[in-house]
Structure 1
Amino acid sequence: APADGDSRPPAHASGLAPARPRGARHYSPVVQRIAEEHDVDLDAIEGTGRDGRVRKQDVMAHIEAHGASPTARSSDEPVLHSESPYRPGAGGSQSHGPYTPPAGRPLSRMRAMIGEHMHRSLRTAATCTTWIEVDMSRIEIARKELGVTALPLISRCVIHALVDFPLVNAWLENDLHTVHEQVNLGIAVDLGDDGLIVPVVRGAQDLSPEGLARRIRDLARRARARQLTPDDVRGGTFTITNPGQFGSIMATPVISQPQVAILDVEAIVKRPVIVTDQFGEDAIAIRPMVILGLSWDHRAIDGAIAARFLANVKKRVESYEA
């Protein structure tokens, strides 16, 4: 019976079922999201799942039956800042329109020729690259004594190695393999924005270190002054490129056709290395080191020849005597 003073009839007296306490039902995140998007009261849906659980299918069926539509943003939802560049529908800052690239211009004749030559080389040669690290201590001493840069002294060591490995001092044109006795050494010269050019030191094997240094200086000077003749850039049998003068430490040079190899000389950098004295004792010392990279054509030579050639250059550089 009702407690004294409480004249309200029981809830079931009117024939209605007792109200389910809010919070007693549990819904999956998917069901809750769909209900929020379509403004659906989940308590009004009879679930068909286990223990009356409301499933996704129940919500979708309710939406289809009652024609519910996605809700608009509630009035108390904070609006986005009017100046935000990420506001939906806004075009961002009004001071910037669509990007319009500047007008292009044709490549210079030299740039186009370099591009065509490099592209042809990559299409033609089976290019591989092998690197070796070399101690430049002896070269550094010698260049200071002779008053020259390291390039002609390294070049001198390379020339001797080419004489020992003539297969590297060669051309390959289609199936015609030409091995040269004379070393015509190409030296890549940077021309700034105009590109580069490779004048040739002919008969480089017959020049002294000082004579080689003079020839390289002369060709580089005339190249930058645009005073080279066609003969100055023909007939190279092997090329050296020297981007290390700008500080780079490793590269993969592209072979100059129809040659079969090219040597890349990188920056001389002081590094800690392990050195062994005459008694077999190891120690850590600071040495001027350089990485030499040889790109070579696998159609003409194999990796063993490339590695032995680089080892020969390394031995000559590290034992150099002025």
Structure 2
Amino acid sequence: VQEGETAPVGAVVALVLLEGETDDSVSTDDQNTANKESAEPVPAQHTEAPVADRWYSPVVLRLANEAGIQQDELNRIPGTGFEGRLSKKDIKDYIEIKQSGKTSVARKETKTASEQKVAVPQESKPGTTAAPAAPAKTAPSVPVGAGDEVKEMNFVRRIIADRMVESKRISPHVTTVIEVDVTKLVRWRDKHKDDFKRQEGINLTYMPAFVEAVSKALIEFPQVNASVDGYNVILKKNINVGIAVSLNDGNLIVPVIHNSDRLSLSGLAHSIDSLALKARANKLSADDIQGGTFTITNFGSFKNIFGTPIINQPEVAILAVGYIEKKPAVVETPEGDVIAIRHKMYLSLSYDHRIIDGSLGGAFLKRVADYLEAWEA
């Protein structure tokens, strides 16, 4: 190759000769072989682009945590499940390969340079110089004062944090609140809780009643039992109500009661009790936390009266139930209005304003309240 010329990829650009050799001593076959060897592509180690929005099952999170795999590394592991999800087999295979000393995990499919968004070298023109790349922007750091303690989020908390931020980004949240007179429900529970404990072997809480009321209302308002895909609304056939459960380490998980509208009150009570025990023992299966269409979270367990919960994606609504307390209230009777002590609580519904307007959200919440106020089991 002469000075100033551009050599094609794989071409021989120079020959190094020993003393006494001439360029004729190198055969054409040898040069052709050298060209072929040079032109043969070298397998590059593939690094998967991180998938920030990927969903992980508790089993995958536990295995990753036990293997010391951080979230950024987990996001880069290729998944073979539905929509690229990481299966239990995927994470176990990755851990096995990693522990065996291999440096990369090959992907079953290859991508073109454009799909991977890899910069392809361009032929430079004489007399031009490529402009230096702009430095990547970094998030501003939070000032740390003297005596402040910095603690890194654990693996599960980082996943929760990402999901909460993502939900607020995806869904325009609106929250509406209603006060409910649950005096009939409280009296019913007080009357039956001892017999229920003796016959069923578990405590009778208010949550089965909340799930039953929500399930009935979802039948009447199917657009609240839905998901959004672009400009399409997916009305869910089944009603699967998730229950937010607080774990011993302070984190949160949402096991799901599948087909909650088909269960009796006793069946709901057993499902809730079983899922809560499995959640706190870290024994939930993938099926236990998948397929939810609506979520209930209980602020009342901490004596909070109401809150503004964040939607559990890809659902479009979430109900927060507040603390039940005694209040003086005006009660209408045939003889006129009287002041009486009633059991009151607040329900707050956060919903996705893309498909649920105030009239629909308010009507749904009112229907849930109606079921609870007229409680008869």
Given candidates 152, 171, 182, the residue that maps to 1:125 is: 171
Given candidates 326, 337, 350, the residue that maps to 1:282 is: 337
Between the aligned partners of 2:174 and 2:261, the Cα distance in structure 1 is: 26
Aligned length: 224
CA contact (8 A) 2:184 2:375 kept: yes
RMSD of aligned residue pairs (Cα, Å):
1.5
Between the aligned partners of 1:101 and 1:117, the Cα distance in structure 2 is: 31
CA contact (8 A) 1:270 1:289 kept: yes
Deviations along 1:262-293, one digit per CA (max 9) or x if unpaired, are 000010011111110135x1111111100000
Given candidates 102, 115, 119, the residue that maps to 2:161 is: 115
Deviations along 1:140-179, one digit per CA (max 9) or x if unpaired, are 1222344211111121111101111111111113333111
Unaligned runs of 5+ in 1: 1-97
Which structure would you say has the larger RCO, counting Cα contacts within 8 Å and 6 or more residues apart? 1
Residue of structure 2 equivalent to 1:34? none
SS of the residue corresponding to residue 151 of structure 2 reads coil
CA contact (8 A) 1:163 1:181 kept: no
1:226 shift after superposition = 0.6
Judge which range, 293-302 or 192-201, deviates more: 192-201
Q: What's the % identity of the aligned pairs? A: 42
**Which residue identity lines up with residue 270 of structure 1 in the other structure?**
K
SS of the residue corresponding to residue 305 of structure 1 reads helix
Unaligned runs of 5+ in 2: 1-143, 194-203
Change (3 A) 1:246 1:223: same
TM-score, with normalisation over the residues of structure 1?
A: 0.67
Between the aligned partners of 1:173 and 1:269, the Cα distance in structure 2 is: 40
Residue of structure 1 equivalent to 2:151? 105
Deviations along 1:55-87, one digit per CA (max 9) or x if unpaired, are xxxxxxxxxxxxxxxxxxxxxxxxxxxxxxxxx
Given candidates 268, 276, 287, the residue that maps to 1:220 is: 276
Between the aligned partners of 1:170 and 1:145, the Cα distance in structure 2 is: 37
Q: Tell me if 1:306 matches 2:366.
A: no
1:231 shift after superposition = 1.5
CA contact (8 A) 2:248 2:280 kept: no
Residue of structure 2 equivalent to 1:197? 253
Residue of structure 2 equivalent to 1:258? 314
**Which residue identity lines up with residue 359 of structure 2 in the other structure?**
A
Q: Tell me if 1:291 matches 2:346.
A: yes
Residue of structure 1 equivalent to 2:327? 271
Between the aligned partners of 2:345 and 2:265, the Cα distance in structure 1 is: 20
TM-score, with normalisation over the residues of structure 2?
A: 0.58
Residue of structure 2 equivalent to 1:54? none
Matches of residues 85-104 of structure 1 in structure 2 within 5 Å?
100-104=146-150
Judge which range, 254-263 or 147-156, deviates more: 147-156
Residue of structure 2 equivalent to 1:60? none
Between the aligned partners of 1:120 and 1:152, the Cα distance in structure 2 is: 30
CA contact (8 A) 2:240 2:258 kept: yes
Computing the radius of gyration from Cα coordinates, the structure with the larger value is: 1
Residue of structure 2 equivalent to 1:320? 375
Between the aligned partners of 1:238 and 1:262, the Cα distance in structure 2 is: 6
Judge which range, 198-207 or 307-316, deviates more: 307-316
1:129 shift after superposition = 0.2
SS of the residue corresponding to residue 252 of structure 1 reads coil
Given candidates 289, 293, 296, the residue that maps to 1:233 is: 289
1:99 shift after superposition = 6.1
Between the aligned partners of 1:278 and 1:267, the Cα distance in structure 2 is: 30
Between the aligned partners of 1:219 and 1:234, the Cα distance in structure 2 is: 13
Given candidates 202, 205, 216, the residue that maps to 1:149 is: 205
Q: Tell me if 1:208 matches 2:242.
A: no
CA contact (8 A) 1:111 1:194 kept: no
CA contact (8 A) 2:211 2:260 kept: no
Between the aligned partners of 2:262 and 2:339, the Cα distance in structure 1 is: 39
CA contact (8 A) 2:325 2:344 kept: yes
Residue of structure 1 equivalent to 2:184? 138
Change (3 A) 1:103 1:277: closer
1:227 shift after superposition = 0.6
CA contact (8 A) 2:177 2:347 kept: yes
SS of the residue corresponding to residue 334 of structure 2 reads coil
